[in-house]
Structure formats: C-alpha cells, structure tokens
Amino acid sequence: MIVLSAKLTAENKAEFEGKKEEIEAIVAHLGKLLGGVTFTIKDIQKGSIKITINGSPEDVEKLHELFESGELVDVLGIPVENVELLGTEDTEEDKKLQFIERIIAGEDFGNDLVGVDLSGAFLSKANLEGANLRIANLEGANLEGANLYGANLYGANLNGANLEGRQPSTKPTLMKPNLREPNRHK
C-alpha cells in the first residue's frame, strides 16, 4: 500500500476537490506510467490530494522508486509532494475497504449484508439491487445514484447518507430505517 500526497494550487483545487472521477483518472494515469499496472483507490483525503492506493508489492515499489529518482514530479499537472510506503498487514479498516471495493466492482457479495458496517462508504452508483441491508450501518455513506431496487433497508442507519440521484422507479424496502438527516451537505 502507498500514500501519494500532491499539492493543490488555487487553480487546481477547485478542479479536483470532491471529484472522484478525476482522482480515478490520476490513479489510472499512474498505472499507465508504470507500464499498464492497476492500482485501486483505498482512501481520499480532502484539502490536498492524499490518495491511498493498493497495488502489487512490485508495482508499489516501482512507483516509490519513480518518486525517489525524481521521475515522478507531477501527475496530470499536480505536483507530487510525497510517496509513502505503508505496511502490508490488513487491519479491520483495510478489510472493510476491500469489501467495499468488491461491492463497487460488482463482485458477488451474496446480497446478504445484514448488519454490515458500511459507514462513510463511497457507494456512488453501486449496484445494490436486492441487497439485504437489514440493520446495516450506512451512516454518512454516499449512495448517490446507487441502484437500491428491491434492497431491504429495514432498521438500517442512513443518518447523514447521501441518497441523491436514486432512480424514482426503484423500490427499496424501507421499514423502520434511521433516516435522520439524509443528504445532509456540510
């Protein structure tokens, strides 16, 4: 795992803040720089661009070497300040993020997500059709444009969740969900 820190200037801050697609393009560009390797976004911190990405140990080491040698000075016009290697042991947070990545990628998760903690997860446009999210913690999750058709949200915590862009034709089961402050913008 690696953390890539890049400095945002006044010009590019507005361009990249809150735009996951552009950040995904940066990560894809990094993969191309290294000869077609694939990285996955693990975390994005606001303010400056600080992206935590996963890749094979060889690819992560190659990226770190490019930075150390001075060959990786900027990515798509954003000056790279630091590339930091992190330990490879999976923490509970790592496992949660890997699970979220599998959901977003559309991998089979058995639709049984009863009681799962997806708080703060970026699930924009995820296909959760028919998912059993009974008593799941979706507090602060971004479900913008997610397919919730037939999803069971009985007792789910949706406090502060972003539900914008959900198709009106979808019919999730909404029995006793905690809907305090959905779509709350700060």
**Chain segment 62-96, per-residue pLDDT in tens:** 777 777 787 776 665 666 777 766 665 566 776 77
Q: Exposure string (b/e) for 20-48, b if CB count within 10 Å is 16 or more? A: eeebeebbeebbeebeebebbbbebeeee
pLDDT at site 53: 65
Q: Which amino acid is at 177?
A: P
Query: What does the pLDDT average to over 11-33?
Result: 65
| Cα 91 to chain centroid, rounded | 17
Confidence of residue 49 (pLDDT cuts 50, 70, 90): low
Q: Which amino acid is at 105?
A: A
The architecture in CATH of the region 91-186 reads: 3 Solenoid (2.160)
pLDDT at site 137: 92
3-state DSSP assignment of residue 146: coil
| Cα 55 to chain centroid, rounded | 15
Q: Exposure string (b/e) for 61-77, b if CB count within 10 Å is 16 or more? A: eebbebbeeeebeebee
Residues 116-154: tens digit of each pLDDT: 888 888 888 888 888 888 899 998 888 888 888 888 888
Contact between 72 and 33 under an 8 Å Cβ cutoff? The reply is yes
Stronger pLDDT, 2 or 96, i.e. the higher one: 96
pLDDT at site 185: 45
Domain boundaries, the chain: 2-85, 91-186
**Residue 161 burial (CB < 10 Å; 0-12/13-18/19+)?**
buried
| Class level of CATH domain 2-85 | alpha beta
| Topology match between the domains 2-85 and 91-186 | no
**pTM listed for this prediction:** 0.48
